[in-house]
Amino acid sequence: MSKTLLEQTKAVVQKAQKLGAQGVSASLGRSRNSRVEWRDGKLDRLRESTSMSVGITLYVDGRHSSNASSDLRPEVLDRFLEETVAMTRVLAKDPHRKLPDPGRFKDRFEGDLKIYDQAGSAAVTAVWRRKTAEDLEAAARSGPRADQIISVTSSCSDTASESAKVTSNGMEGSRRSSTFVLYTETSVKDEGDRKPEGWHYAVTRHRGKLPGVEKIGGEATRRAFLDVGAKPEKSGRYDCIIENRMAGRLLRGLLSPLNGQLIQQKRSFLADKQGQEVVGKILSIDDDPLLVEGLGSRTYDGEGMSLKKMPVFEKGVLRTFYLDTYYASKLGMEPTTGGQSNLVFSTGDLDLDGLLKVMGKGILVTGFSGGNSNSATGDFSIGIRGQWIEGGKIVRPVAEMNLAGNHLEFWKKLVELGGDPNPYSSWRTPSLRFEKVQFSGLS
């Protein structure tokens, strides 16, 4: 099947070349997704799809365009190529637009990343999905205070995808992958009209690696009850721990300015920080595309360049920007890769409870809301909810507060990493402990 996809992709490239494109990069993708959503004892939504699309990047007479279509009827695809090649000719020339150097296609990892569960995908049935979703709800309702639950929504879904990529200067690749997802959300009663929600999820490459339903359903309900009665605390500088599964939301503001476009367009506060210590010495982050069963694992990137592990931060020092061929050329630098794969973090020894004990007093951040980060200055401000901690224990829930800072200062206040990297994300973030950061709440 993959061979057919690869052959089709090659045919697209050849066709575009015939129409006058000197350089062509094409990707064909096909995926199948099924999902059952269960709510309060009943089937709520059943969703299934099979989809296929083509993406084509064209280099015509020194000009460039990128195009996509889900209308793959042969005669339409031909016409689509004709029109997009013609359209590209109208644009301004850009000497930096070119396919990656063929040398970048070499030394691709050939081993098995174990990101496709062929047997698991083939064995999934509609009955299993429905039963699993139902079991998730039962797990969510199995604990104490079940009469305080307003609603439980759960879902079970799986996706199997395959894609092929071909460039006119010699790159060919194809891959298959699968994901399996469990999700539960519980709403519970609170004072007045408030109805706090708790949620939990798992996503894996292999069906057999999904945790038991109680770990997801039960956890969603536990989290909902933890938020009952949440109120803001007084504004102040407090120690805090950011829970592993939410840490990525804050990290985005630090990591997205490593993107080549933002650097070249002078919208990145990290543009002149390569080789400098930007975050706390205890933090190292690797981009590891070859992580076995990783949710971001891949052997080649969107341009077809072969990937390998690279340090992003090494003991606090910024090592690598994310540069695709275009922005690397504009910056006069060597391309790395344009997008993140898996991020693997340095970790500590303690689990979340252990970190809470070390912190003693402060805020455990369990959720973020809204917020943003200024890529040019590094200033950020983000809504939080979580728990007030005293004596290393949860005392009361907090909400309607903000956490604010500047990334260049904030990450130097990172004093400890947990030993609990989140397995259900391509960013395997551990819980993070900070000292004295700015929260705003009540005056």
Partner 1 sequence: MNKGMNRRDFLRAVGTGAVVVSVPVLISGCTSKVLNPDTQAGAHGTYFDQFGVDTGLIRRTLEKGLSRGGDFSEVFLQHKIGHRVGMEDGEVNRAHTAVDLGAGIRVLKGDATGFAYCEELTEAALLAAAETAAAVADANAGARPQPLAAVLVENRYTVEVPWTDVGIDKKLPIIKRADAKARGRDRRIIKVAIDFADTTSRILVANSEGLLVEDDQPLALLKVICVAQDQGNTEVAFQAGSSRDGLRFFSDQTVDRVAHEAADYTTTLFDAVAAPVGELPVVMAAGVSGILLHEAMGHGFEADFNRKGISIYAGQIGNKIAPEFVSIYDDGTNERLRGSINIDDEGTAGQRTALVEKGILRSYMHDRISAKHYKTRSTGSGRRQSFRYPPVPRMRNTYMINGPHKPEEIIKSVKKGLYTEMFANGQVMIGAGDFTFFLRQGRMIEDGKLTHVVKDANLVGSGPKVLEAVTMVGDDMWMYSGGSRCGKDGQSVPVSFGLPTIKVGAISIGGRRS
Site for partner 1 in 86-105 (CB under 8 A): 86-94, 97
Shortest distance (Å) from residue 126 CB to partner 1? 7
Site string for partner 1, 387-406 (x = CB under 8 A): ------------xxxxxxxx
Q: What is each CA distance from 59 to 24, 193, 214, in whole angstroms?
A: 6, 58, 53
The residue range among 65-73, 104-112, 156-164, 346-354 that interacts with partner 1, by the rule CB under 8 A, is 65-73
Asked if 217 is part of the footprint of partner 1 (rule: CB under 8 A), the reply reads no
Provide the 8-state DSSP code for 256: G
Say how many residues touch partner 1, by CB under 8 A. 91
Asked if 383 is part of the footprint of partner 1 (rule: CB under 8 A), the reply reads yes
Site string for partner 1, 267-306 (x = CB under 8 A): x-x-------------------------------------
Beta partners for residue 382, in sequence order: 403
Residue 25 is inside which H or E element, if any?
strand 23-39
The three-state (H, E, C) secondary structure of 333-366, written as one string: CCCCCCCCCCEEECCCCCCHHHHHHHHCCEEEEE
Shortest distance (Å) from residue 228 CB to partner 1? 10
Does residue 17 sit in helix, strand or coil?
Answer: helix
Site string for partner 1, 313-352 (x = CB under 8 A): -----------------x----------------------
- CB closer to partner 1, 4 vs 51: 51
Q: Within positions 29 to 58, which residues make up the interface with partner 1, using CB under 8 A? A: 39-40, 42-53
- CB closer to partner 1, 208 vs 332: 332
The number of residues making up the chain comes to 443
Question: What values do phi and psi take at 291, rounded to 5?
Answer: -65, 125
On the 0-12 / 13-18 / 19+ scale of CB atoms within 10 A, 71 is exposed
Beta partners for residue 174, in sequence order: 164
Shortest distance (Å) from residue 29 CB to partner 1? 12
- CB closer to partner 1, 265 vs 346: 265
Closest alpha carbon to 25 in 67, 78, 62, 77? 67
Distance CA 169, CA 164 (A): 15
Shortest distance (Å) from residue 286 CB to partner 1? 29
CB count, 10 Å around CB of 188? 23
Distance CA 138, CA 82 (A): 55
Q: Which of 10, 31, 32, 82 binds partner 1 (CB under 8 A)?
A: 82
CB count, 10 Å around CB of 70? 8
Q: Which of 380, 411, 424, 427 binds partner 1 (CB under 8 A)?
A: 380
- CB closer to partner 1, 106 vs 377: 377
Q: Which of 7, 61, 83, 390 binds partner 1 (CB under 8 A)?
A: 83
- CB closer to partner 1, 103 vs 192: 192
